[in-house]
Amino acid sequence: MDNVYVYGFYILIWPAITLGVLILICTATYRDIKKAQRNNTDIV
């Protein structure tokens, strides 16, 4: 019975980790865009 909870937690933690990484990438991209606009340069 305990293995069910462990496997359930293991399966449910991955969307949380993915969401965290997505937020990190979006935040970094937003900061780069703002920095490029401030310096009047392209982001690419």
Model pLDDT, residue 1: 65
The set of residues, in sequence order, having a beta carbon less than 8 Å from that of 43 and lying 6+ positions away, is: 32, 33, 36
pLDDT at 30: 97
Angle at 22 between CA 17 and CA 7, to 5 degrees: 20
- 24 vs 44: CA distance, rounded Å: 19
> Under 8 Å CB-to-CB from 42, ≥6 apart: which residues?
36
Q: How far is CA 29 from the centre of its chain?
A: 11
Distance, CA of 13 to chain centre: 14
The predicted model scores a pTM of: 0.71
Report pLDDT digits (tens) over 9-29: 999 999 999 999 999 999 999
Q: Residue 2's pLDDT is what?
A: 80
